[in-house]
Chain A
Amino acid sequence: MDIGFWVSFGESTIRGATPLLLACLAGLYSERSGVFDIGLEGKMLAAAFAGAAAGVILGDAWLALLIAIFTSVFFALLHGIACITFRGNQIVSGVAINFLALGLTAVIGNALFRMGGRTPSLGDARFTEVPNYFEGVPILDPIWSLFFTHSLFVFLAFGAVPLTWYVLFRTRFGLRLRAVGENPAAVDTAGISVVLMRYQAVIICGVLCGLAGATLSMALNAGFVNNMSAGRGFIALAALIFAKWRPVQAMLACLLFGFLDAAEARLQGRELWLIGEVPVQLIQAMPYLLVVVLLAGFIGQAKAPKAGGVPYVKER
């Protein structure tokens, strides 16, 4: 195994971690404000479809990206209206959004393109990767291709980590956001609207999920296929719990799950030293297994924001 193998391994890890990280940070904003969101998967899927479909029809990647984000925000607002305004059950609403997105993308995709739910290939209307300017230059070549031959979304995702940390822990908005997820009554007493704070969080969540979805259909692939998110929204949720709702740890968790994803393809049929052949299914199940073990309390304890899942009622 030469250096090229490890560089491509690292590249796939970063690439695979990107949609997870964007969705994970999306969930972080929402859940820190006290709105549980198991609809990350659905929003990602809807955005992936909207981005690809708009890209095919309009032929403009940036416009398509905007449409992807708006679609995701639309679903996020639906979640917000159900859970914040109508005080419905946040889990039920998330489940509903997942099904709506899964069904609508397939039905509309089929009606628009008649390709069994797929969209045609995007062609030029996609986000390409930064080329490798240092092809063949020693040292610089592997470093550049590992860290910089990526699409826009990779830089956005990893850039969002320090930004999220700063917003959450160093700004007034972040303080209020965290407070509204822990003790909304106290925030209300301070004269800040709980409803407004939560809507803001849900919209940020929508924007980030939109980026995550666009990553799938407009950068990692050149088009949409049925159920393209394939459980990534749930892996992002797993990463969020694994990171105990903190941004930097979220990045590490997503990198870990991205690494497992990249390893899966590379381990198929290979004998590992001391272990022998690892079943592919075990690697696929790893993120879920790790979260169950974490939740069982074997690796510290994951404590969700205290007011998460509880609709806020101003007066009793």
Chain B
Amino acid sequence: MNKQLPGWVDYGLLPILNLIAAFLVAGLVVLAIGENPLDAVGFILFGAFGYGEGFGYTLFYTTNFIFTGLAVAVAFHASQFNIGGEGQAYVGGLGVGLACLALDQTLPWYGILPFAILGGAAMGALWGAIPGYLYAKRGAHVVITTIMFNFLSFSLMVYLIVNYLKVPGNASVQSRTFEETAWLPKLTWLEPLVPGISGSPANLSLIVAFIACVFVYILIWRTRFGYEVRTYGANPEAARYAGISTTRVVVTIMALSGALAGMMALNPVMGEQNRIFLDIPQQAGFVGIAVALMGRSHPLWICFAALLFGVLYQGGAELAFEMPTINRDMIVVIQGLVILFAGAMEFLFRPLIAPLFAPPSAKAEAA
């Protein structure tokens, strides 16, 4: 198990093998239902890339998954497992929405944007920092507390929307729609390149997501704090002896993780629906787990993994339309398989592959 393998095998070949295994099993499920898996892939790719509006939707979903993937990833670096992205994104939607509701009559969108980002990040950070604090101070496992905080956010948001934010006399459970000047601009400047993209909800949040990626990269690999985080993640005992404060690292990283998840709400709240509504994240928080695992917690790979899931989400809609025997929940199956093979069974192929690439010294030892 501990044999050294070349870097490209560990970080390139094995993850790809895991991914292939996940998709092979997904293909078998499609086959078992009685459809042709290759046709299914064709529909997915056409739905995701085949026309401008579809591609726009792909980018829209990708934006969500970049944020939530980054959220899970930064927590992974401190060996914390934040399953609470869903809840953090939901309350983040409250922060974004309240900023818009408060300012949309006085400021244009670019004036509101900083406050909206701050609002979403602050609410998400709060929802992440409490589990972090409970772990650092009381030893309560972050996994359990973040699960509980997901459910707490669902109840809290329903309560707030129904009792305080809902427009009286209107049957739909949502806040009032923001003034149009407060809406984040769509990616209309891409129209010459991708005709039809302005018909989709893809918006400026995508750029914010890319900036967040750069920020996370610099923070984790180029700052003193990032070094402390990675040290703590690699060996908490050693970090403690080196004078790194558990409380500081865990609470800060969980707050940051929550903030990133909370910022996801920009995309649906300020960019798409332009109001606070029920179930803002729509599972994106959970998809973030698969994205972070697939992206090996690195911002660049997370972008690609997010795109893959964006393709699956948008293409899945097309697939469900073209093949009525398969519904959109197929994506959830693929998501589960990716988490299983890329996450839980990441060592599956290592014993098989290891002998092929063992360095000469190890071979000599074996002989």
Interface residues, chain A, with chain B CB atoms under 8 Å away: 38, 78, 81-83, 86-93, 95-104, 106-108, 110-111, 114, 116-117, 231, 234, 237-238, 241, 279, 281-282, 284-285, 288-289, 291-292, 295-297, 301-302, 304
A238/B344 contact (C-beta < 8 A), A110-B325, A117-B327, A281-B158 known = no
Interface residue? B332 (CB, 8 A): yes
A203 to B240, CA, bound (A): 39
Question: Is the C-beta of B94 less than 8 angstroms from some C-beta in chain A?
Answer: no
Residue pair B330, A107 in contact (C-beta under 8 Å): yes
Residues of chain B within 8 A (CB-CB) of A302 are 140
Q: Of A95, A96, A104, A285, which one neighbours B156 at CB under 8 angstroms?
A: A285
Cβ of B159 < 8 Å from any Cβ of A? yes
A93 in complex: contacting residue of B83, B325, B333, B344, CB < 8 Å: B344
Q: A91-B81, A100-B340 are in contact. Are A292 and B143 (CB under 8 A)?
A: no
Shortest C-beta distance, A196 to chain B (Å), equals 20
Known: A117-B329, A292-B152, A295-B134. A103 touches B336 (CB 8 A): yes
CB-CB under 8 A for A92 and B325, given A111-B33, A295-B140:
no
Indicate if B263 sits at the interface (CB-CB under 8 A): no
Which one of B110-118, B183-191, B247-255, B345-353 contacts A? B345-353
Q: A91-B143, A295-B144 are in contact. Are A103 and B151 (CB under 8 A)?
A: no
Contact status A95-B289, CB under 8 Å: yes
Q: How far is the CB of A101 from chain B (nearest CB, A)?
A: 8
Some 9 contacts from A to B, beta carbons below 8 A apart, are A86-B345, A91-B81, A95-B289, A97-B340, A103-B331, A281-B156, A288-B148, A295-B134, A296-B134
Q: Is B173 an interface residue (CB 8 A)?
A: no
Contact: B144 with A291, CB < 8 Å? yes
Cross-chain contact A103 with B344 (CB below 8 angstroms) = no
Q: Any chain A CB within 8 A of the CB of B337?
A: yes
Can you name the residue of chain A whose Cβ is closest to the Cβ of B327? A110
Residues in B with CB closer than 8 Å to A234 are 147-148, 151
- In the complex, what's the smallest C-beta–C-beta distance from B284 to chain A, in angstroms? 13
Q: Which residues of chain B have a CB within 8 Å of any CB of chain A?
A: 29, 33-34, 81, 83, 134, 138, 140-141, 143-145, 147-149, 151-152, 155-156, 158-159, 163, 286, 289, 293, 324-327, 329-337, 339-340, 343-348
B134: chain A residues within 8 A (beta carbon): 292, 295-296
Return the chain B residue nearest A92 by Cβ: B343
Looking at chain B's contact residues, is the secondary structure mostly helix, strand, loop, or mixed?
A: helix
Minimum distance in angstroms from A236 CB to a CB of chain B? 12
Among all A-B residue pairs, the 7 with the closest Cβ atoms: A103-B332, A99-B336, A103-B333, A93-B344, A100-B336, A295-B140, A106-B329
On whether the beta carbons of B346 and A107 are closer than 8 Å, the reply is no
Residue A100 contacts which of B83, B152, B326, B337 (CB distance < 8 angstroms)? B337
B43 to chain A, nearest CB (A): 15
CB within 8 A of A92: which of B33, B330, B344? B344
CA distance A96 to B331 in the complex (A): 13
A95–B334 Cα distance when bound, in Å, is 13
Rounded to whole angstroms, the CA-CA distance of A103 and B336 in the bound complex is 8
- Give the shortest distance, in Å, between A84 (CB) and chain B (any CB): 11
With the chains together, A111 CA to B325 CA distance in Å? 5
Contact of A292 among B148, B334, B335 (CB under 8 A): B148
- How many Å lie between the Cα of A206 and that of B348 in the bound state? 23
Bound: A289/B333 CA distance, A: 30
Selected contact of A296 from candidates B81, B138, B347, CB within 8 Å = B138
Q: Which residue of B lies closest to A90 (CB)?
A: B344
With A38-B143, A281-B155 known to touch, is A83 a contact of B344 (CB < 8 Å)?
Answer: yes
Q: How far is the CB of A231 from chain B (nearest CB, A)?
A: 6
- Residues of B contacting A117 with CB < 8 Å? 327, 329
Q: Which residues of the other chain, A, contact B144 by a CB distance below 8 angstroms?
A: 237, 241, 291, 295
Which residues of the other chain, A, contact B346 by a CB distance below 8 angstroms? 88
Complex contact A297–B343 (CB within 8 A): no
Name the CB-closest residue of B to A81. B345
Q: How far apart sit A292 and B326, CA to CA, in the bound complex (Å)?
A: 39
Complex CA distance for A302 and B337, rounded to whole angstroms: 32
Closest A residue by C-beta to B293: A92
Query: Does A296 lie within 8 Å of B345, measured CB to CB?
Result: no
A284 CA / B154 CA spacing, docked (Å): 10
**In the complex, what distance in Å separates the CA atom of A78 from the CA atom of B345?**
10
Q: Can you name 15 extra interface pairs (CB under 8 A) apart from A99-B335, A103-B329, A281-B156?
A: A86-B348, A88-B344, A92-B293, A95-B83, A95-B339, A97-B340, A103-B333, A110-B326, A110-B329, A111-B33, A111-B325, A234-B151, A237-B147, A285-B152, A304-B141
